[in-house]
Structure 1
Amino acid sequence: MLIGAEVIAAQPDRTAEVMAAFTRARREPMRAAMRSMMLRRPGLEAEAASLRLPVLMFAAHGDGMGSGPDDIRDVAATMPDARVVEVAGAGHLAPLFIDVDTIHDRLLDFWVDAQEPGRSLS
């Protein structure tokens, strides 16, 4: 689910714009992208453990297109410098509509912390 009922009710105009963009998209490339994600999407676990830079991941409950908070925390636990932030919203895009303040604040915190001596984002 891209956008849950709570987001549609809270922000009908903005969600209508997003859904219209998906409706207008050319079908064949959209189908190919979705098929690739569903059938050939590799897990992150092996690569995640090798990351040696700060990582910030957002996890929403009810994101049927991705992983839930527990799955994200499991992946983060394999990395030396990872944070997981749980955000509100049921749906893959829902947090971008209804929990934008949390996303904004945690991103700023992440960038500020990454500037500390001895840490690097590159």
Structure 2
Amino acid sequence: MRTLIVEGCADLGIVWQRHLLRLGVEADLATSHADAVSALEDATCADATYEVMVLDLMLEGGAALALSDYASYRHPLMQVIFVTNSVFFSDGSIFNHCANARAFLPTGTPPEDLAAMVEHYGTNRQVI
């Protein structure tokens, strides 16, 4: 299983990445919108796919929703787990805006819990 972590804070992204690697999940880290788009394009060119994307909703530049939409085009079965340290979308409306959204978690979620959710959504993919 392959996962793309898109987190502006590299230190936090590395913590999540290490937990996923311990579970045997191949995890790539992108710290910007441009890095994430490159990773998605590279995977497509290599005829590979990401099953899950962990996406910081407050990604610098405000492009998280556009990135989620782009991911659904490049990797239609990709599941997105949004993480945030904001109360924006705390009403659950993120699920109305992003068809590939599967979870909405606070940034402070324990890494082992986040890794378990990635494993769950990565192995239980379906077209919705």
Mark yes or no: TM-score above 0.5: no
Flag the structure with higher helix content: 1
Taking CA–CA contacts closer than 8 Å with sequence separation of 6 or more, which of the two structures ends up with the larger relative contact order?
Answer: 1
Larger Rg: 1
TM-score, normalised with respect to structure 1: 0.40
